[in-house]
Amino acid sequence: MSSTTLGAAPVPAVPPKIETPFHRFVAEFAASSIAVGALVVFAIIALVAILAPWIAPQNPYDLAVLDIMDGRLEPGSVGGTGITHWLGTDDQGRDMLSGIMYGLRISLTVGAGSALIACLVGASLGMLAAYAGGRTDSAIMRLVDLQLSFPAILAALMILAFLGKGILNVVIAIVVVEWAYYARTVRGSALVERRREYIEAAQCLALPTHRVIFRHLLPNCLPPLIVVGTMQIARAIALEATLSFLGLGVPITEPSLGLLIANGYEYMLSGKYWISFYPGIALLVTIVSINLVGDQLRDVLNPRLKK
């Protein structure tokens, strides 16, 4: 195509900027400074969580460095080990700042991990429903309806009541609670996309079904899935924190933010606020930053909002 127009049009002085969909997406996302700020904040949180063992002032689960005499120190005081506890210490003398960094690791891993598994399960079932249609479709969607008509906290409670506590069981509970959102989203966009010409073309070329689904249909269903996925990570983190707060989540040896907050509960009434307060702030900042990023993603990726 370029060879036919080469001589006709004058060559522009500046080569035209290549605009790929990805560039456009980045530019549109960056249009909201709040969303960019939230993304930066989340990146910092994730970095802190990953690097916790190297940057935390103290390993809060190494009993050798803990001193019970340092218990419940106020924020900013210096403990017997010479460490300044900027956010205070808990009842065991653990540095809260270090505890929060380690807690973030667990909260983010459980939250993102279970959201990802839920995405895999939900997206596969949603795709299957859309592609197979008929009885399979209605069976899967009935299950989705049933799942969505019960509040998340209740379904999770039910599963943990049967399976017992533990990280793995929390992940299972979150996956069971969240898969339906992904399934509904993927089915919705797959039903629209599979009637498009490019799918028809792919089928006419006698491409194998799995190729049509994974190489043609799935990439085009991704935008809404990314939006739902972002929001569901935030929800998963909040749900895990709630379950751990209730004492049904992660074990005491691997405290997530929710369990840290629960630990401070009994000291709240005697005015020692920091044991619960700061992990809560960390949780809040994490959830809000993910939600703000998700909000902007929805605006950018939703074709209906485009003018």
Q: Does 191 interact with another protein (rule: CB under 8 A)?
A: no
Residue 284 in the binding site for another protein (CB under 8 A): yes
Spell out the alpha helix ranges (H) of 71-149.
Answer: 96-132, 134-148
Q: How far apart are CA 213 and CA 187, in angstroms?
A: 12
Minimum CB distance to another protein, residue 248 (Å): 6
Helix, strand, coil shares of the chain, percent, nearest 5, are 70, 0, 25
Letters for 80-119 (x = contact with another protein by CB under 8 A, - = none) are ----------------------------------------
| Residue 154 in contact with another protein, rule: CB under 8 A | yes
> What number of other Cβ atoms are within 10 A of residue 276's Cβ?
21
84: β partners = 78
Residue 218 neighbours by CB under 8 Å, 6+ apart: 123, 127
**CB of 22 vs another protein, minimal distance in Å:** 28
Min dist. Cβ of residue 132 to another protein (A): 22
- Asked whether the CA dihedral 64, 73, 75, 264 is positive or negative, the reply is positive
Strand-pairing partners, residue 127, are none
Residue 81 or 109 having the CB closest to another protein: 109
Q: Does an H or E element contain 266, and which? A: helix 257-268
Under a CB-based contact definition with an 8 Å cutoff, are residues 220 and 189 in contact? Answer: yes
| Residue 251 CB, nearest approach to another protein (Å) | 14
Q: Whole-number minimum distance, CB 15 to another protein, in Å?
A: 43
139 binds another protein (CB under 8 A): no
Residue 236: CB minimum distance to another protein, A: 12
Q: DSSP class of residue 16?
A: P
Residue placing its CB nearer to another protein in the complex, 163 or 192: 163
Q: Under a CB-based contact definition with an 8 Å cutoff, are residues 92 and 277 in contact?
A: no
Work out how close the CB of 96 gets to another protein at its nearest, in angstroms, rounded to a whole number: 15
121 binds another protein (CB under 8 A): no
For another protein, the binding residues in 202-241 under the rule CB under 8 A are 234, 238, 241
Q: Which of 276, 297, 300, 301 binds another protein (CB under 8 A)?
A: 276
Contact between 193 and 183 under an 8 Å Cβ cutoff? The reply is: no
The minimum distance between CB 290 and another protein, in angstroms, equals 9
| By the rule CB under 8 A, 168 interacts with another protein | no
Binding test (CB under 8 A) with another protein, winner from 51, 146, 168, 252: 146
Q: What tokens appear for 274 in the block?
A: 């920091």
Residue 256 is encoded by which pair of tokens? 């997530």
Cβ–Cβ contacts within 10 Å for residue 129, how many?
Answer: 24
Token pair listed for 12: 């522009």
Nearer to another protein, 136 or 291 (CB): 291
Both tokens assigned to 143: 């299950």
Out of 83, 157, 207, 222, the residue judged to bind another protein by CB under 8 A: 157
Which region among 89-97, 115-123, 149-157, 197-205 touches another protein (by CB under 8 A)?
Answer: 149-157
Contacts of 282 (CB under 8 A, 6+ apart): 45, 100, 103, 104, 257
Q: Is there binding between residue 29 and another protein (CB under 8 A)?
A: no
Q: Which residues bind another protein (CB under 8 A)?
A: 146, 149-151, 153-154, 157-158, 160-163, 234, 238, 241-242, 245-248, 258, 261, 264-265, 268-271, 273, 276-277, 280, 283-284, 287-288, 291
